[in-house]
Amino acid sequence: MIAIASDHGGYNLKEHIKAYLVAKGISCQDFGTDSTASCDYPVFGKAAAEAVASGACEKGIVICTTGIGISITANKVKGIRCALCADPLSAELTRRHNNANMLAMGAGMIGPNLAERIVDVFLTTDFEGGRHARRVSQIMDMEK
C-alpha cells in the first residue's frame, strides 16, 4: 500500500499518479486533499508520513507545487526519509543510497509523464545496504 497526499497545488498530479498506480495494480491510500481549493500542505503531508512511519503503508508519495514544503513536513515525522526528486536518477539513488521511504514531487516543476517515470523508479529500486546502511543508521540515530 502506497500513501499518497497533496495540497491544492499538487492535487491534479496526485490524482494522475493515483490513477496510474491503480492501473498498474498498486494499491494506494489517499490522505487528501480532495480538491484544488486552497489548503495547508502540512496537514496532508503529515498524515501520509505517519501512515508510512507506522507501517500501515509501505512507502509514500507527497506532492505540492514545488515539493519542498511537503517534503520538509514529511521529514518531521520520526522514521521518515522523504526525498524531493525531479528526475529518475535522483529517485533511483535516493532508494539505493538513502533507503528513502517517501517521495516528494513538485507539480509546478514536472509534468505527469516525468512524474510517472520517477514514481516507477522510486517504487522498483531496492536499497543497496552495505556502507549506505551505516550512513542511513547514522541519520536515523539523530532522531533519538
Candidates 16, 39, 97, 132; catalytic one:
97
Closest among 65, 119, 72 to 95, alpha carbons compared: 119
Find the distance separating the first CA and the last CA of the chain, reported in whole Å. 27
Beta strands in 7-81 (DSSP E): 28-30, 59-64
Can 97 be counted among the known catalytic residues?
Answer: yes
In total, the chain counts a number of residues equal to 144
Candidates 8, 28, 57, 64; catalytic one:
64
Reported as half-sphere exposure (CB side, CA atoms, 13 A), residue 4 has a value of 24
Can 28 be counted among the known catalytic residues?
Answer: no
Which sequence positions are flagged as catalytic? 64, 97
